[in-house]
Chains A and B, each alone.
Chain A
Amino acid sequence: MTALLTIIVLVFILVAIWQMVKIFDLAQARTENTQVATDKDNTINGYIMMGFLAFIYIITIVSIVKWGDLPLLSNAASEHGSTTDNLMITSLVIIFFVQTITQFLLHYFAFKYKGEKGKKALFFADNNKLEAVWTIIPVIVLAGLIIYGLNTWINIMGVDETEDPLVVELYAQQFNWKARYAGADNTLGKANVRLIDIDRANILGLDEADPNAQDDIITTELHLPVGRPVLFKMRSQDVLHSAYMPHFRAQMNCVPGMITQFGFTPTVTTAEMRQTQEIQDKVANINRIRVEKSEALVAKGEDALDRYEFDYLLLCNKICGKSHYNMQMKIVVESQEEYDSWIKEQKEFKNSLSN
């Protein structure tokens, strides 16, 4: 089978090459044997340039219309998320504006000034004023963006300890996530991978002697109470991973040998998010796609796909090995009461050890 296909492909390639030789010969004959662009070439390519400009605009518009609602530009589920989104939209508007104008000038000039025999170009080597203008304008625009951007960045990265954030450790390993809650004392117990004791089920390497560790709670789902600042402390036991929580506009690498951190305040519960129009449309669309796919699968005798329901996710976003593509953890944002009752059901560290 493969052999047959390979032969077919080879035959196709041979035919293609033979065809190209013909094109080549014909092309040679038609151009009066000059390989330098003629006036006709200039004209044709000038027009194609305008066509190509249209193509760039069209692909931009099509992308925005068809896929513009996919981007995470709205629907941020964290407090700082909307400031990020505003900055993103501002930047995008500036970019599209510059893109539209410069691409127009480039392609239009290529069309407008296409060469003709006997025409002489303008000897225009320099103009300090012009150059000053297009140095200063980017300087001003970028200065604005830098100030705006740095303000946002400092806001996001600054941790305000006075707000009493909920402290949660995100623990990465090939290829899954664990969360460790600090418990009633809101202080994470000391930990190091050297203390891992699989036999005793001390899987995150907590210091069993540390009093702060006793009430720590290790879970495989991340639950967050809405409206309360969370401070994540990231750890990895093996290679680099990255804790990516796109809906919250949050991401931080997990680095073996060191603790990194990132804080945000979730503002929309999972249940509320599922009710928003955007998410409902998105979920409906995805389920339509999944139903189609399922039909094909069932026809092949395989299982149909599950219905999709929206959930916040934590994804790994740093290449970490074979199953990097499937390293995820569900995030649930819920009311304080729901959170309290969930956390009560989880085992504290001191009770989770086996002897």
Chain B
Amino acid sequence: MSAHADTHAHDDHGHHHKETFVTKYIFSQDHKMIAKQYLITGTIMGVIGIIMSLMFRMQIAWPEEPNVIFEALLGKWAPEGVMDADIYLALVTIHGTIMVFFVLTAGLSGTFSNLLIPLQIGARDMASGFLNMVSYWLFFLSSVVMVLSLFVEAGPAAAGWTIYPPLSALPMAQGGSGMGMTLWLVSMAIFIASSLLGSLNYIVTVLNLRTKGMTMTRLPLTIWAFFITAVIGVISFPVLLSAALLLIMDRSFGTSFFLSDIFIQGEVLHYQGGSPVLFEHLFWFLGHPEVYIVILPAMGLVSEIMAANSRKPIFGYRAMIASILAIAFLSTIVWGHHMFISGMNPFLGSVFTFTTLLIAIPSAVKAFNWITTLWKGNLQMNPAMLFSIGFVSTFITGGLTGIILGDSALDINVHDTYFVVAHFHLVMGISALYGMFAGIYHWYPKMFGRMLNKNLGYIHFWITAICAYGVFFPMHFIGMAGLPRRYYTNSNFPLFDDLANVNVVITVFALIGGAVQIIYLYNFFISIFYGKKAEQNPWKSTTLEWTTPVEHIHGNWPGEIPHVHRWAYDYSKPGHDVDFVPQTVPLKDGEEELQH
């Protein structure tokens, strides 16, 4: 059916209406352009997020010392260059929000789902180009609102990225909980709308627009990952939206969903009967799946890149899909591990410890399968491959500490310390960022028709890799020493004086790691114009996107959409002369399709 529709689509494209600058670059409905828009917006947000983190790291390392950078960037929030305690919390909050949602959700999933779903399943475009465009522009709008919130008189939201009420609900509790928090909530509501439109589009496209022969079990793992990510998003984001809406009602209309019995600044507030713990449940019902929304696409990208650059099939294709499904399912029933000591019934804590430790099993299977994919391969150490290997490394390091955090008895003592910060930055932050970089280095030729500079890529990877461990490995230890996160300074606790030098080490690594990203940005933007022209299939991959012409055309393939005859991982298959057999090549006589 789809093949039939496609020939028509192609005919239409012959006498396509002329594109104007606006329809081509701004209100584009072409998935490839939308992917680039997501990437560029995500990059800009990423730069903002990183700069924020460097500022608060400098504050922790050299507390309350004047700093010209603070003075220049923070203005009235850094009188005489000394960072204010309120803005410290605001920086931490907005950094977390931007990184988790704007960079690693929209920037990562938005870019690669858009770019790769139609190209790898053999579709002319997304199911609805229009909704796709709306989705991007909602994301853009939410980014603008979030950035604008930085300039609010009383300061941006500062209650942590988890915005637990009552702190986030009461303007008198904190400056940032006034207009800043309102804008945060508005921005996130728009963001969620964007994400839902995008996810629905991805799901429909994967289910309906696969080319002839592209069965679900021939899909590259990227598509599986994007598909399941979209499903998790559709299940969990609406719950965050409802939490945000209820919080808005508590803030603006005097309801008491999350608030009760509050005495603040000399007066009793009217709220009665609500519970902050309810908000925590709603938040983490999204919040935990969200971390997998972030990591699954990165896993998909890494699986694909590792196979192509190992010149080997991904090991255990079916187990990889099964573990994605298992993770997706389990991820919706573990949220309580963020709440072991929230005051919920300890019995619930037991249940969530059980489910949480279960999720380590599919995670372990994936890690072992990646390692085995390298075994006896013919590894092409392109920058994308390095970032993929780096991904597995940080995912293991960060994931292992999840076993401690998931154990409620141990979490009592490290909850909300730097140990948690180390855990989730390695397993989610750095890993997903590596996945994103890997994807960019690998698919840059597809996106821009040019190649990135390889040597700059090597420099970028190695320095980043060293700094990532330099920042987050020591952090486990200050966490185990009991240092709470989100402290503006530790100088009020002589108990922690012996950790001050560790914090300096961490900050120095962070500053170097941050600076190195300039090399990447330079490479990225300069290569758009001056990079070497790409070949059609530079990495000798099997998947469909490399059968499209280098120059982007609307509809992706000039002629008919190719048909698919085999799975995506026929690398180095015995009986073939070349070490890769594209999915479009029919099986030879007597050749068996090996897909499991």
Contact = CB atoms under 8 A, between A and B. Distances in A.
Contact of A116 (B277, B314, B378, B487): B378
22 contacts: A20-B519, A35-B531, A44-B381, A52-B462, A59-B474, A68-B477, A72-B481, A84-B409, A91-B403, A98-B396, A102-B368, A107-B393, A110-B374, A115-B378, A123-B572, A142-B403, A146-B354, A149-B409, A156-B409, A193-B263, A196-B268, A250-B412
Interface in A209-252: 234, 237-240, 242, 244, 246, 249-252
A317 interface: yes
B327 to A, nearest CB: 14
Given A95-B404, A106-B393, A121-B311, A150 B350 contact: yes
Interface residues of A, number: 133
A317 B497 contact: no
A285 B498 contact: yes
B174 A255 contact: no
A128 B293 CA distance: 28
A286 B165 CA distance: 37
A328 B22 CA distance: 58
Given A125-B594, A253-B343, A323-B85, A60 B473 contact: yes
B493 to A, nearest CB: 7
A209 B493 CA distance: 40
B313 A125 contact: yes
Interface string A122-136: 111111001100110
A150 B352 CA distance: 10
A102 B382 contact: no
A301 interface: no
Contacts of B396: 98-99, 102-103, 106
Contacts, number: 412
Given A67-B474, A110-B379, A135 B365 contact: yes
A140 to B, nearest CB: 10
A282 B497 CA distance: 10
Contact of A319 (B89, B266, B318, B361): B89
Interface stretch (B1-9, B42-50, B215-223, B452-460): B452-460
B451 interface: yes
A82 B502 CA distance: 27
Given A134-B364, A142-B358, A122 B572 contact: yes
Contacts of B370: 106
A234 B277 CA distance: 14
Given A24-B456, A257-B260, A321 B173 contact: yes
Contacts of A6: 68, 72
Interface stretch (B129-137, B243-251, B413-421): B413-421
Contact of B393 (A70, A103, A150): A103
Interface of A: 1-2, 5-6, 16-17, 20-21, 23-24, 27-28, 30-31, 33, 35-37, 41-42, 44-46, 48-49, 52, 55-56, 59-60, 63, 67-68, 70-73, 84, 87-88, 91-92, 94-95, 98-99, 102-103, 105-107, 109-110, 113-116, 119-127, 130-131, 134-135, 138-139, 142, 145-146, 149-150, 152-154, 156-158, 173-174, 192-194, 196, 198, 205, 234, 237-240, 242, 244, 246, 249-253, 255-258, 260, 262, 282, 285-286, 289-290, 305-306, 308, 310, 313, 315-326, 328
Nearest to A55: B466
Given A56-B469, A249-B412, A285-B498, A126 B318 contact: yes
Contacts of B574: 123
A244 B483 CA distance: 10
Contact of B538 (A35, A68, A84, A317): A35
Given A28-B532, A121-B378, A153-B349, 5 more contacts: A67-B474, A106-B393, A239-B167, A316-B484, A325-B85
A107 B392 CA distance: 10
Contacts of A71: 477, 480-481
B375 A23 contact: no
B368 A115 contact: no
A173 B173 CA distance: 11
A111 to B, nearest CB: 9
B407 A255 contact: no
Residue among A116, A193, A324 with the most chain B CB within 10 A?
Answer: A324
B549 interface: no
B380 A37 contact: yes
A75 B416 CA distance: 21
A59 B473 contact: yes
B312 A122 contact: yes
Contacts of A156: 409, 412
Contacts of A145: 357, 403, 407
A28 B276 contact: no
B56 interface: no
B317 interface: yes
Given A103-B393, A246-B413, A328-B493, A35 B174 contact: no
A244 B418 CA distance: 14
Interface string B359-396: 01100110111111011111111100110010011001
9 closest Cβ pairs, A-B complex = A257-B260, A71-B480, A246-B482, A35-B451, A260-B343, A157-B346, A193-B263, A45-B381, A27-B455
B410 interface: yes
A192 B261 contact: yes
Interface string B545-560: 0000000000000000
A42 B379 contact: yes
Nearest to B416: A317
B89 A322 contact: yes
Contact of A237 (B89, B263, B470): B263
A116 B380 CA distance: 8
Contacts of B343: 234, 252-253, 255, 258, 260
